[in-house]
């Protein structure tokens, strides 16, 4: 039984400060420990230029925490994908049915800084250079090492939440403490590298600003997302080894030649490509599924610490923020129940909260992990295929005719807050349906509406009212 215990959060990345803001608002004492130095004072290169696509689920969580207005200044809405053929020909595919359905480019570093500023402004203290090296559930202690001095300390804490990302120390503690801990960790044989397209001489973007640019090349791809300073943050995805891989690009000449052959129009905008390429490391991408996410009511893993996914649906951050939404809704409900229950004391049980949270979330985070893996093939390969483009048009036509019944998979995940597991299940049914309806037609005008009508009535129940941000 707890009466507003002091909470310890490990990891001040994206979910950590957001959760801290929400807990502080509810009167909890919150200590936040981060292993890196303070990025507002020290330049951290890796991960600095990465942009993330922020969408409905993430925006909803930011709005609920009262910090969305502070974030609006640092986002650029992207209306769709701009595909770049090798010839330089451009084609644009909108993400949604209209201008209200956009995803938002935001620099990871800027978002991290804005969240930490907002957390501190609301009274949260963040201690930097503090690496959690272990968590001991028996003694309910967090072990911390100061990365600057090497000093170690042990901190007692009734409740610890690990928001420490995909290499989580708190998840490792769950693994080593719990007798039947399930863990699956699946690395892609692809890596990624951050690159930059600088601003033009006028300080403006050198390509269409309100789009996510993609150079899909079958087995690999380059993407670029706009930054508010006129630059584009690019990510190159290649296999680690084999043909057209990072291993192959082992000299300046090979790097340049590869870009000349694969991405000639991007190369023209990247005068510093070779230096930029060599300065940045190759990152790995992993899907992590695990259970349980908590040790009794003492420690919980949340965000990437509990469920890291590959980045191809642009949902890792959004899912981590949705974790915060769900945990807080449950916390509020249980606080209310215990306040209004017999005795009137604030006596909800953290163990039950953590168990309910995991039960509600895991099925959904497993689903988005699978959707993200599937979307990799779509992004690097299918978006260049005319049959795929036709399917996208048919999807939009079906959505317009059957709103609330047929919602494209991308929209269910990105523009609504439907549980991810529902999006996955309905998406599979809709994929089959689209396969049937698009078979043998060349244009959306040739769609057999009678058949579509019958299929939709037979296979899809109404979705009811859809929630957005
Ligand atoms: C290339 C790439 C592109 C992506 N694009 C998108 C996108 O477009 N949209 C999207 O929604 N998501 C995207 N993601 C995923 C997104 O970045 C993550 O899902 C999100 O950052 C998870 O937030 P988090 O707070 O759980 O973890 P993190 O943001 O990783 O934060 C973890 C924090 O914990 C700290 N930490 C780690 N270990 C310790 C320790 N032992 N002690 C103390 N502190 C520790 C870390 O330094 C870090 O600050 C992308 C990821 C990658 C790699």
- Residues 399-412 pLDDT 10s: 999 988 999 999 99
- Which pLDDT value is given to residue 379? 81
> How far is Cα 256 from Cα 439, in angstroms, rounded to an integer?
41
Answer whether 322 contacts ligand 1 (Cβ < 6 A): no
Cα of 126 vs centre of ligand 1, distance in Å, is 17
Answer whether 10 contacts ligand 1 (Cβ < 6 A): yes
Give the residue, by CA position, lying nearest to ligand 1 atom 41: 132
Cα of 50 vs centre of ligand 1, distance in Å, is 11
List pLDDT tens digits, range 5-39.
Answer: 789 999 999 999 999 999 999 999 999 999 999 99
Alpha helices (H) along 381-464: 386-401, 409-414, 420-438, 449-459
Cα of 47 vs centre of ligand 1, distance in Å, is 9
Answer whether 53 contacts ligand 1 (Cβ < 6 A): yes
Sheet containing 103-107: order of strands: 51-54, 103-107, 75-78
Q: How far is CA 278 from the centre of its chain?
A: 26
- Which pLDDT value is given to residue 342? 43
- Which pLDDT value is given to residue 343? 40
> How far is Cα 392 from Cα 412, in angstroms, rounded to an integer?
14
Cα torsion for 100, 105, 109, 113, to the nearest 10°?
A: -20
> How far is Cα 164 from Cα 308, in angstroms, rounded to an integer?
11
Answer whether 288 contacts ligand 1 (Cβ < 6 A): no
Cα of 13 vs centre of ligand 1, distance in Å, is 6
List pLDDT tens digits, range 217-262.
Answer: 999 999 999 999 999 999 999 999 999 999 999 999 999 999 999 9
pLDDT band at 45 (very low <50, low <70, confident <90, very high): low
Give the residue, by CA position, lying nearest to ligand 1 atom 52: 311
Answer whether 315 contacts ligand 1 (Cβ < 6 A): yes
Helix axes 56-64, 15-25, angle to 10 degrees: 30
Q: Sign (positive/negative) of CA torsion 427, 224, 185, 177?
A: negative
Q: Which atom of ligand 1 is nearest to the CA of 166?
A: 30
pLDDT band at 378 (very low <50, low <70, confident <90, very high): confident
Answer whether 398 contacts ligand 1 (Cβ < 6 A): no
- Which pLDDT value is given to residue 464? 74
Answer whether 15 contacts ligand 1 (Cβ < 6 A): yes
List pLDDT tens digits, range 150-185.
Answer: 999 999 999 999 999 999 999 999 999 999 999 999
- Which pLDDT value is given to residue 345? 36
Per-residue HEC secondary structure of 162-175 comes to ECCCCCCHHHHHHH
DSSP annotation of 443 reads: S
Answer whether 165 contacts ligand 1 (Cβ < 6 A): yes
Tell me: pLDDT of 466 over 80. no
Over pLDDT 70: what percentage of the chain? 96
Alpha helices (H) along 100-250: 108-121, 169-177
Which residues is 159 bridged to in the sheet? 7
What pTM was computed for the model? 0.95
List pLDDT tens digits, range 65-109.
Answer: 999 999 999 999 999 999 999 999 999 999 998 889 999 999 999
- Which pLDDT value is given to residue 347? 42
Give the residue, by CA position, lying nearest to ligand 1 atom 49: 13
Answer whether 318 contacts ligand 1 (Cβ < 6 A): yes
Tell me: pLDDT of 467 over 80. no
């Amino acid at each position: 039984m707890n009466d507003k215990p002091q909470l310890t959060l490990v990891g001040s990345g994206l979910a950590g400060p957001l959760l801290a803001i929400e807990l502080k608002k509810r009167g909890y004492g919150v200590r936040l420990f981060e292993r890196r130095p303070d990025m507002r004072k020290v330049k951290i290169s890796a991960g600095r230029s990465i942009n993330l696509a922020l969408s409905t689920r993430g925006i909803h969580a930011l709005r609920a925490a009262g910090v969305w207005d502070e974030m609006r200044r640092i986002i650029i809405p992207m209306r769709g994908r701009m595909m770049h053929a090798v010839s330089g020909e451009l084609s644009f595919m909108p993400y949604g049915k209209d201008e209200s359905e956009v995803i938002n480019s935001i620099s990871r570093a800027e978002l991290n800084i804005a969240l930490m500023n907002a957390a501190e402004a609301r009274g949260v203290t963040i201690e930097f250079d503090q690496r959690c090296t272990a968590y001991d559930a028996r003694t309910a202690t967090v072990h911390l090492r100061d990365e600057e001095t090497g000093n170690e300390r042990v901190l007692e804490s009734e409740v610890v939440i690990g928001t420490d990302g995909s290499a989580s120390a708190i998840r490792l503690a769950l693994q080593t403490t719990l007798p039947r801990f399930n863990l699956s960790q699946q690395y892609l044989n692809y890596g990624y590298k951050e690159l930059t397209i600088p601003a033009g001489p006028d300080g403006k973007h050198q390509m269409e600003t309100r789009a996510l640019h993609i150079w899909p090349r079958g087995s690999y791809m380059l993407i670029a997302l706009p930054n508010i300073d006129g630059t584009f943050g690019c990510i190159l995805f290649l296999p680690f080894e084999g043909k057209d891989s990072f291993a192959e690009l082992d000299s300046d000449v090979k790097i340049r030649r590869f870009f000349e052959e694969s991405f000639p129009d991007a190369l023209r905008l990247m005068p510093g490509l070779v230096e930029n390429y060599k300065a940045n490391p190759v990152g790995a991408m992993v899907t992590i599924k695990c259970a349980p996410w908590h040790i009794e009511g003492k420690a919980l893993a949340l965000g990437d610490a509990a469920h890291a996914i590959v980045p191809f649906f642009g949902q890792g951050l959004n899912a981590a923020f949705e974790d915060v939404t769900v945990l807080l809704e449950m916390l509020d409900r249980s606080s209310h129940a215990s306040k209004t229950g017999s005795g009137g004391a604030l006596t909800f049980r953290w163990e039950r909260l953590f168990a309910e949270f995991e039960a509600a979330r895991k099925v959904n985070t497993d689903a988005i992990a699978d959707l993200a893996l599937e979307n990799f093939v779509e992004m690097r390969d299918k978006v260049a295929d005319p049959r795929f483009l036709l399917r996208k048009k048919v999807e939009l036509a079906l959505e317009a005719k059957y709103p609330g019944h047929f919602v494209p998979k991308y929209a269910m995940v990105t523009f609504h807050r439907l549980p991810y597991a529902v999006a996955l299940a309905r998406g599979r049914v809709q994929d089959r349906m689209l396969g049937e309806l698009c078979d043998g037609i060349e244009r959306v005008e040739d769609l057999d509406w009678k058949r579509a009508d019958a299929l939709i009535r037979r296979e899809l129940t109404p979705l009811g009212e859809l929630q957005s941000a």
